[in-house]
Amino acid sequence: MAKKKKQDSSDTKKIEQLKKDHWEMENMTMTTNQGLKVNDTNNSLKAGERGSTLLEDFLLREKITSFDHERIPERIVHARGSAAHGYFELTKDMSKYTKAGIFTDTNRRTPVFVRFSTVAGSKGSPDLARDVRGFAVKLYTEEGTWDLVGNNMPIFFIQDAMKFPDLIHSVKPEPNNEIPQAASAHDTFYDFVSRTTETLHNHIWAMSDRAIPRSFRMMEGFGIHTFRLINDKNESHFVKFHWKPVLGVHSVTWEEAVKINGADADFHRRDLWEAIEAGQYPEWELGMQIVPDADEHKFEFDLLDPTKLIPEEMVPVTIVGKMTLNRNPENFFAETEQVAFLPGHIVPGIDFTNDPLLQGRLFSYRDTQLSRLGTPNFHQIPINSPVVPIHNNQRDGQMQTSIPKGQTAYFPNSLTGGCPHLAKMSEGAFHSYEERIDAKKIRTRSESFSDHFSQPALFYRSLAAWEQEHVAGAYTFELGKCTQDHIKERMLWVIAQIDKDLAEKVAEGLGMKIPKNIEKPINQAIGADADSKKHEPGAKKNYLDASPALSQANTKFDSIATRQVAVLLADGFDAKSLKAMKTMLEKEGAMAKLVAPHGGTIKDSDKNEHKVDSAIMTTESVLFDALYIPDGKASVDALLKQAKFIKFVNETFKHCKAIAADGEGERLLKSSFVKDHMKDKAIHVNDKPEAFKKSMAKHRNWERRSVSDSVPV
* Tens digits of residue pLDDT in 511-551: 999 998 776 655 455 666 666 667 778 889 999 999 999 99
Q: What's the Cα-to-Cα distance from 173 to each of 120, 207, 345, rounded to whole Å?
A: 9, 19, 32
Q: What is the pLDDT of residue 622?
A: 97
**Mean predicted confidence (pLDDT) in 401-418:** 84
CATH class name, domain 557-708:
alpha beta
What pTM was estimated for this model as a whole?
0.90
DSSP state for residue 53 in the 8-state scheme: B
Q: What is the pLDDT of residue 528?
A: 67
For residue 67, pLDDT beyond 90: no
Could you report the per-residue pLDDT of 292-311, keeping only the tens digit for each? 999 999 999 999 999 999 99
**Mean predicted confidence (pLDDT) in 33-58:** 80
pLDDT band for 416, please (50, 70, 90 cuts): confident
Could you report the per-residue pLDDT of 634-671, keeping only the tens digit for each? 999 999 999 999 999 999 999 999 999 999 999 999 99
For residue 691, pLDDT beyond 70: yes
3-state helix, strand, coil split of the chain in percent (to 5) is 35, 15, 45
Of 125 and 406, the one with more pLDDT: 125
What distance in Å separates the CA atoms of residue 472 and residue 90, rounded to the nearest whole number?
41
Residues 6+ apart with CB under 8 A from 600: 611, 612
Could you report the per-residue pLDDT of 47-62, keeping only the tens digit for each? 988 889 888 787 788 7
Residue 243's region, left for phi above 0, alpha for psi from -120 to 50, else beta, is beta
Task: Could you list the beta-strand ranges (E) of 614-712.
Answer: 614-615, 626-629, 658-661, 683-685
**Mean predicted confidence (pLDDT) in 409-438:** 83
CB-CB contact of 537 with 302 (8 Å) = no
CATH class name, domain 45-150+157-216+251-282+325-384:
mainly beta
Residues 6+ apart with CB under 8 A from 319: 91, 92, 244, 285, 286, 287
Could you report the per-residue pLDDT of 360-375, keeping only the tens digit for each? 999 999 888 888 888 8
What distance in Å separates the CA atoms of residue 81 and residue 69, rounded to the nearest whole number?
19
Query: Catalytic residue numbers?
Result: 78, 151
What distance in Å separates the CA atoms of residue 469 and residue 477, rounded to the nearest whole number?
12
Please report, for the chain, the start and end positions of each structural domain, with discontinuous segments joined by +. 1-27, 45-150+157-216+251-282+325-384, 557-708
pLDDT band for 68, please (50, 70, 90 cuts): confident
CB-CB contact of 663 with 574 (8 Å) = yes
What distance in Å separates the CA atoms of residue 248 and residue 558, rounded to the nearest whole number?
9
End-to-end CA distance of the chain: 54
Q: What is the pLDDT of residue 649?
A: 98
- Quote the percentage of the chain above a pLDDT of 70: 92
**Mean predicted confidence (pLDDT) in 110-137:** 96
CA-nearest of 609, 560, 617, 611 to 584 is: 560
What distance in Å separates the CA atoms of residue 649 and residue 582, rounded to the nearest whole number?
19
What distance in Å separates the CA atoms of residue 506 and residue 491, rounded to the nearest whole number?
10
CB-CB contact of 352 with 228 (8 Å) = yes
Q: What is the pLDDT of residue 428?
A: 83
**Mean predicted confidence (pLDDT) in 260-287:** 97
Mean pLDDT across the chain, nearest whole number? 91
Q: What is the pLDDT of residue 474?
A: 98
